[in-house]
Amino acid sequence: MPKPDQSSPRPMEIHEDLDKYFRVLHEDPYGLENPDYDWKGENWFVAVAGPVYLLIAAGMVLASSEGLIPTLSFPAFIFFIAAAVFELLGKIFCAHLVLRYNIRINFVRKLGLRPWRKLQAFIIPFFFVTGDKILIDTMFLFSLGQLKTIATEWNVIRRQVPIFRFAFVSWDRLEDRPYSMRYDMIEDALRFLIYIPFIALVENKIVTLIPQLVNEFGDGLAEPVGLRFGKHRYKTKAIWYDGKFWNGEYHRSIEGSAMVFLVTLAVLLWFSAAFTMPQLMLALLLLPAMLTIAEAISPHTADGPLIGLLGCSFLWALPLLIWSVRLRPGLNEGCREIWPF
């Protein structure tokens, strides 16, 4: 049986022969039959992370019921559950596309699923709560999101629940197996640690919203464009691969990274009303290049944290960089007129 070579330093070489790619995929679509995969690491990861997130979520519910923290938003919770169900249905549909029509997992993952999946905890609270409650609900929904990931993607559960096993096909890139769930959860945790101080300390939603949109749609386009049209490749490493830190030879492309640049331009122009003209000009001049470089130098599956750190820091500092200009309410006071919730 053909299988991805777990000991290969070039896990993305599976994409160089599409016949082999789809042969490997169809002979082990769920990634659970390869004897070279060691699942002990994932099991230990869940044994540590699961109780931590469960304790956080349960503790916040208890603290909220006792009045120790602001009341958690029930509408936000219901919307989150609905979003999770919609995500599962989307994964099932995309898994069908992958297996029925031989579409590479990377395409459906980035073009069809990633924005919806990754933005749930950070965006939903903005629709239902304001002020300090955004921080509380973001922390709560993030913890629930991590528990949802464990409940639907942990190999132990997938072996027992066919619908979860099938749905994960649309997310489980061949070059990431058997680290897919851990890669995602580690990146999510790092992104959370980057964004949560800005959510807590900066009133303006634009500061965290723009980098997230760039991350999801810019990086979301970068991989499919790079795989399909990329001719000018450069190398990067994974945080963890084959038992070693900063290991494995992955590649990106200039054509793919250009998507980050273009999406950053588009997002800034979309929210142009939030800036004064000097601020917008400086942002258009610097931020696209900064976030493109951030994506380029970040490790495989972990570009989100650096994009978030540089993007949030720049947008937070922008009024200070152009201090002599009277700033519009959009950048200083929450941008109510263009983000009305």
CB within 8 Å of 223: residues ≥ 6 apart: 106, 110, 256
Rounded to whole angstroms, the Cα distance separating 279 from 272 reads 9
% of the chain residues with pLDDT over 70: 92
**Which position has the higher pLDDT, 192 or 330?**
192
pLDDT at 5 (0 to 100): 52
| Most confident by average pLDDT, 100-104, 107-111, 215-219, 333-337 | 100-104
pLDDT at 129 (0 to 100): 81
The pTM of the whole model exceeds 0.85: yes
Which residue do the tokens 């070039």 mark? 10
pLDDT at 120 (0 to 100): 79
Q: How far apart are the first and last CA of the chain?
A: 54
Does residue 156 carry a pLDDT above 90? Answer: yes
% of the chain residues with pLDDT over 90: 69
Rounded to whole angstroms, the Cα distance separating 299 from 250 reads 9
CB within 8 Å of 282: residues ≥ 6 apart: 318, 321, 322
Mean pLDDT along residues 69-86: 93
Amino acid letter, residue 184: D
pLDDT at 68 (0 to 100): 94
